[in-house]
Structure 1
Amino acid sequence: MSDPEDLGTGIYRQEAAELVQSIEAGLLALENTPGDGDRIDAVFRDLHTVKGSGAMFGFKELAEFVHEFETAFDSVRRREVPVTSALIEISLRACDHILRLLDDPVSAKAVSATILGKLAACLEADGSDALPAPRQDMSIGTDNRGIPPANGYRVKFRLAADALMHGHDPEVLLNDLRDLGPTRVRALVEDVPPLDQLDPTECLMGWEVEITGEIDPTDIEAVFLFTRDTMSLEVSPLDADEALEANAGPTDEPDASFSLVSGASNSTKATGNTMRVATERLDEMMDRVGELVIAEARLQALAQTSGDATLMAVAEDIQRLAAGLRDSTMSIRMVPISSILGRFQRLIRDLSGSLGKQMNFVTCGEDTELDKTVIELLADPLVHILRNCADHGLESAERRLAAGKPATGTIELGAEYAGAEVVITIRDDGRGLDAARIRSRAVERGLIDEDVDLPEAELYRMIFEPGFSTSSAVTELSGRGVGMDVVKRTIASLRGQIDLESEPGHGTTVRLRLPLTLAIIDGLLVEVGGELYTIPLAAVEECVELPALHKSERTTSSFLNIRGGLVPFLRLRSLFDVAVPPSDYQKVVVIASTGARVGLVVDNIIGNNQTVIKQLSPLHAGLKSFSGATILGDGSVALILDVAQLVASGRAIEESTRRENAA
């Protein structure tokens, strides 16, 4: 059994990493909108959360560092210093250091003083150019906002019902308020139920605190930074008589009407709560659901064989429940692509500085969701593509101006749904790919013969070959020909495809087409030579009868005329070297990928089925026509056809025919 303390520490590490990513995103946004008070407050709240939780879980060095970082950033929040690029730069370095303190606090601690010193020096340098006083648009104020009265404030607050379970201590908040000045505290107990209905884990009391003196309202706001989003809070100024009465009375006044009486339920109870679950448990759950789908298919087969009406009714109920459980489990695994966009904003900013190029980074479709496994494996390929856009794609400001372009280059990253796929598009407005240079390097490396005339689309795909690079020198960013090879291999492992378009002088577009999930898909079951195969249903466009003139395997034509359009086709019998005689009524399954279509000639179409994808063993990983396997209801195994590879084969047939006709 896991140690609860270790489990809590692991959860904090994950939460802290997410908060640091949020802080980075806020800092990067502030660089473009330095006067955005909401952004500044959000960064300050995240810092406060990292510090408070870090101290709770024993990360002393981290808590001390973030405390100093928070204190320094507080001067920004108070508009004592402006937000500048230099301040953002050192703040981002401080964020990096927080992550190092999470991983190795002892070694990283030695650098803390250096970073904090640079931060302090940056604030001192900027202090003479302070921003205007902040807008007093405080959510906790009511009257006379922006004019802190000399008499004091009345603060009424109620924490969320689950605040105690989340580690929030009301006494800490009360002590922070007491530190602001003379106080009088009264407990609000009207919502406390009778003893036999009391839940000791819920926070049912509220508090009213009167603080006298010249109090800055932002100090009151800071007390509740850690809990503000899930609580009710009212703050109103005291008049002179109330302040006098508060000063005359006892510091902490118990409620004179205290009694255990029935009251209304707490209206501040949090809604839409979430819970963290280890990814290993989600993976295990998905595996179990996959096995359930296989068992359900076997039950369906047995029910149909037996003809028992009762058994068939039970099988249908199991099928309905298994489908619902499958959909719910898969939805749990779906993660928005925005979860990895933050690191790319930071990447582009850093590349802009190191390359000396002005860049804009534009994103869209951040809410598009992918399976968590796909998201995890997608980050590195996107980093390589974005680095190539920045290094090879975008020109310097001088060259852009000479070409009639804006001095600042633009890199766009967008995501959208396309059927059962997600299409991720990365586009830059740079110089585009140099087909002549790519061809020269390909000939030099022996990838193509000098007399071979390849179309530009094929030449562009050469950049995905291992070790291929057009750079004349090796730099920190490029020149070794490794990055795009990694992209190709990773996308292939995800059963995805890559499209590449480029227009010289106007930029390059890379499109990644990825399946929504790697676990369970709908498949079309077909038969070829007595063996069963599965085609991903999302790739199937239509099914037609094989025309009589194409039934002979000795025919020279490799194209079908489907409603006036020519579609290349592949005979799977020939591809798989099947010796069994063909069916008298062969069918053609037309599949599509990356805008191209190809027909697959099969003996019979069996029907749709739920396909639980099982990875092939390393021994069979080289079989390019298959992307995996699945277990059928009768216990037999059906190989899953790799649509991308088959469409590529169809393209090769089409290209070969075009060359023959041209000759």
Structure 2
Amino acid sequence: MSMDPVETFRIEAAELLEQVEQGLLDLTHRLTDKDLVDAVFRGLHTLKGSGAMFGFDDLAAFTHHCETAFDRVRKGEVPATVELVSAVLSARDHMRSLVEDEVTQTHRDAGAGLLADLRRAVESAQGKSSAPAPVDPAPVAATQDAPAPAAQAGWKLWFSLPANAMTNGSNPLALLAELGELGEMHVEADTSSVPPLDGLKPADLYVAWTVTLRTDQPRSAIDDVFIFVMDDMQLRIESLSAETEPRAPAEEIVAEAPSIAASADAPAAPSSIAPRAAAEPVAGSGDAKHGKSSESVRVPAERLDELMDRVGELVIAQSRLSQLASASTDLQLRSVSEEIERLSGELRDTMMVLRMVPVATLFGRFRRLVHDLARETGKAIELVTEGESTEVDKTVIERLADPLVHLVRNSIDHGLELPADREAAGKPRTGQIRLSARQAGGEVIINITDDGRGIDRERVRAKAVASGLLEADQQVGDHELLQFIFHPGFSTAQKVTNLSGRGVGMDVVKRTIESLRGTIDLTSTPGKGSEISLRIPLTVAIIDGLLVRVGDGRYVIPLAAVEECLELSLEDDLRSRGRSFISLRDKLVPFLRLRELFRTGTKPDPHQKIVVISTGSERVGLVVDQIIGDHQTVIKSMSKLHAAVNTFSGATILGDGTVALILDVGHLVAAGQQQEAQLRAAG
């Protein structure tokens, strides 16, 4: 099933807008970087051309004004300023709405207001330039290779596009029309490469063009026309004056496309250009482009999800086959079972890699967020990212986006001080937000760190007492005190702002992280800053689990959370009743008897086992009757009827067709810690 061309444009436009935004954000720190200015201009130019081609006329018209503004910056007529970059950033948001939404009069009115802001920013930037506008270096370079503009009659050029150009969205007629806007133009089409009818492919392009352009525009103006197809095309440009004054081959003006090297042996004189010979490298260029595009295929995410479901079913079926084969004496059946087990394992691993995306796709969006919040709050903020190449399941990335936005906003609002306050505290005026990611086993650890004022414990305690969560004279540890921040409706903000203060969010963040089978931990040092650490499984579809038996039921514990296994004899079990603590390397670790928690009604096995699990710094032991072994677990979601059962995060199907419930590690650790607090209070 082919994708709608308009939808394809929207996807590509979103990528272009993302590139433009990143370029603009980089430009705010390096206003004189010409490469960045050129990159933003190319993005806007491509978006305008593609938008017009697919019928997004409002987008093309609006983008044209932004492109014009950046063209003036590119030519040195106007310096880049923070205000100008911010105006184009706002315009970029409007472009996104023009791509995604149906255009209304409200959109047009908003666009007019943004263009007015853009004009003011350009005028202000021009006013700040104390020296006269610098001369465009491109025409100066052209005068070294060509006669002075007064004596120049124009340009003669020959160009051809790759065979798949129209399939990829390039329109040669639009390029010719844009050239025609530069001056008087005469066009000759070269059709010598068109094959016989039986060999003609309707979607391929076989025509090349020779253009005589009478204009006083510099060569850079012609480069601008071909700016977003330059890398794939064949282009030769010569001054018309060269027809009367022969030049040395070294002075020939040739586009910087890599493919031009293939035609470097062609004679320099325009009259001797052999279109047929030049067309051959073009075909090769087109083939290379086809080969390059075949390396990367755009696949809808829904198809990956469907494929993941099928792989999960295959893993379950393979597990059942292995169990049947192990009970059989048929050697051929065992051989086939082992082969299928190997193949399904490789398929599963390949599928997991397909779903992995780097966290850079997640971290990248925070540059704009920090930029906007810095302007809104008046704070100087630096965003530092680390470990952007760390890969996580795409579903995890999607579900982490909103929680991370809230955490970053909280760090900026509650953590970072105003520049004057930071100077008074002996800190740099610019506060720092650090986002880092690293992989640890089957988990990815994401840290959000700030160097702000830290969390005021007294304010947290006062709010907890006022909310009835804590008695006025009750003593709690530092970790337990900070955990109140994740309680619904809890906020220490002294006033409600656009950023925070309504007590909505941190509890939702914690629930979202826990729904991913992850954990969230908070540490803070007064006057130094705070750090929030998220531990998230790399994938939410298939996990390695430890299969255990409690009574007559079997359960799966996520293997990433398991620290170690110990034996609990019947004597130790009887001796520890009323305490529920074990001594583990000189530290007391609380444990839960799952047999009692699940009310199995069965007697304990003579030699019970304790599985020690952890989430961050918190540990708890789970008493089980038997440890069966490792199990590749395909997670099935619980039904809505079981939404209130917090002990389990899902279910899986075992090899014999029975169901095993997957334990929710975060909930069990919290229950164990709560039990420990109660026993300590009673003691």
Is TM-score (shorter-chain normalized) higher than 0.5?
yes
Which residue type is aligned with residue 292 of structure 2? T
Query: How far apart are the structure 1 equivalents of 2:583 and 2:37?
Result: 63
Residue aligning to 1:105: 103
Range with greater deviation from structure 2 (323-332 or 542-551): 542-551
Contact kept in structure 2, 1:469 and 1:479, CA below 8 Å: yes
Shift of 1:497: 0.8
Shift of 1:60: 1.8
Q: 2:416 aligns with which of 379, 394, 415?
A: 394
Residue aligning to 1:92: 89
Residue aligning to 2:653: 631
Contact kept in structure 1, 2:160 and 2:282, CA below 8 Å: no
Contact kept in structure 2, 1:421 and 1:515, CA below 8 Å: yes
Could you say if the C-alpha distance between residues 610 and 261 of structure 1 is closer, same or farther in structure 2, counting changes exceeding 3 Å? closer
Residue aligning to 2:171: 169
Which residue type is aligned with residue 559 of structure 2? L
Q: 2:292 aligns with which of 271, 282, 307?
A: 271
Contact kept in structure 2, 1:62 and 1:105, CA below 8 Å: no
Could you say if the C-alpha distance between residues 226 and 625 of structure 1 is closer, same or farther in structure 2, counting changes exceeding 3 Å? same
Shift of 1:383: 1.5
Query: How far apart are the structure 2 equivalents of 1:655 and 1:22?
Result: 52
Query: How far apart are the structure 1 equivalents of 2:338 and 2:190?
Result: 58
Residue 62 (str. 1) matches residue 64 (str. 2): no
Residue aligning to 1:226: 228
Query: How far apart are the structure 1 equivalents of 2:324 and 2:545?
Result: 20
Could you say if the C-alpha distance between residues 595 and 251 of structure 1 is closer, same or farther in structure 2, counting changes exceeding 3 Å? farther
Residue aligning to 2:16: 19
Contact kept in structure 2, 1:47 and 1:70, CA below 8 Å: yes
5 Å-filtered alignment, 1:76-225, equals 76-102=73-99, 103-106=101-104, 107-130=106-129, 133=134, 147=144, 149-150=146-147, 159-160=161-162, 162-174=164-176, 176-177=178-179, 180=182, 201=203, 215-225=217-227
Shift of 1:265: 8.1
Contact kept in structure 2, 1:568 and 1:654, CA below 8 Å: yes
Which residue type is aligned with residue 353 of structure 2? S
RMSD of the alignment, in Å? 3.6
Q: 1:608 aligns with which of 630, 633, 643?
A: 630
Query: How far apart are the structure 2 equivalents of 1:169 and 1:228?
Result: 13
Which residue type is aligned with residue 504 of structure 1? P
Could you say if the C-alpha distance between residues 94 and 148 of structure 1 is closer, same or farther in structure 2, counting changes exceeding 3 Å? farther
Contact kept in structure 1, 2:542 and 2:633, CA below 8 Å: yes
Residue aligning to 2:68: 71
Range with greater deviation from structure 2 (206-215 or 79-88): 206-215
Unmatched tracts of structure 1, length 5 or more: none
Residue 31 (str. 1) matches residue 52 (str. 2): no
Residue 572 (str. 1) matches residue 564 (str. 2): no
Could you say if the C-alpha distance between residues 178 and 637 of structure 1 is closer, same or farther in structure 2, counting changes exceeding 3 Å? same
Residue aligning to 2:370: 348
Residue aligning to 1:255: 275
Residue aligning to 1:373: 395
Contact kept in structure 2, 1:630 and 1:640, CA below 8 Å: yes
Unmatched tracts of structure 2, length 5 or more: 248-268
Residue aligning to 1:309: 331
Query: How far apart are the structure 2 equivalents of 1:437 and 1:394?
Result: 17
Shift of 1:176: 4.1
| Secondary structure at the counterpart of residue 168 of structure 1 | coil
| Secondary structure at the counterpart of residue 105 of structure 1 | coil
Contact kept in structure 2, 1:24 and 1:342, CA below 8 Å: no
Aligned length: 651
Range with greater deviation from structure 2 (501-510 or 253-262): 253-262
Could you say if the C-alpha distance between residues 312 and 44 of structure 1 is closer, same or farther in structure 2, counting changes exceeding 3 Å? same
5 Å-filtered alignment, 1:298-447, equals 298-447=320-469
Range with greater deviation from structure 2 (162-171 or 521-530): 162-171
Contact kept in structure 2, 1:101 and 1:109, CA below 8 Å: no
Range with greater deviation from structure 2 (513-522 or 278-287): 278-287
Range with greater deviation from structure 2 (166-175 or 318-327): 166-175
Contact kept in structure 2, 1:627 and 1:642, CA below 8 Å: yes
Query: How far apart are the structure 1 equivalents of 2:396 and 2:72?
Result: 42
Could you say if the C-alpha distance between residues 605 and 254 of structure 1 is closer, same or farther in structure 2, counting changes exceeding 3 Å? same
Which residue type is aligned with residue 539 of structure 1? A
| Secondary structure at the counterpart of residue 292 of structure 2 | coil
| Secondary structure at the counterpart of residue 271 of structure 1 | helix
Query: How far apart are the structure 2 equivalents of 1:199 and 1:325?
Result: 37
Please give the per-residue CA displacement for 1:581-617, whole angstroms capped at 9, x wherever unaligned: 2222322223232133333222112222221111112
Query: How far apart are the structure 1 equivalents of 2:58 and 2:279?
Result: 45
Residue 51 (str. 1) matches residue 71 (str. 2): no
Query: How far apart are the structure 1 equivalents of 2:512 and 2:534?
Result: 11
Range with greater deviation from structure 2 (487-496 or 156-165): 156-165
Contact kept in structure 1, 2:436 and 2:447, CA below 8 Å: yes
Could you say if the C-alpha distance between residues 354 and 323 of structure 1 is closer, same or farther in structure 2, counting changes exceeding 3 Å? same
Please give the per-residue CA displacement for 1:597-638, whole angstroms capped at 9, x wherever unaligned: 333222112222221111112222222221111111221111
Shift of 1:31: 0.8
Q: 1:521 aligns with which of 535, 543, 553?
A: 543
Residue 550 (str. 1) matches residue 550 (str. 2): no
| Secondary structure at the counterpart of residue 329 of structure 1 | helix
Contact kept in structure 2, 1:519 and 1:612, CA below 8 Å: yes
Shift of 1:328: 2.2
Query: How far apart are the structure 2 equivalents of 1:62 and 1:365?
Result: 36
Query: How far apart are the structure 2 equivalents of 1:72 and 1:416?
Result: 41
Which residue type is aligned with residue 119 of structure 2? A
Query: How far apart are the structure 1 equivalents of 2:275 and 2:228?
Result: 27
Shift of 1:32: 0.7
Range with greater deviation from structure 2 (514-523 or 116-125): 116-125
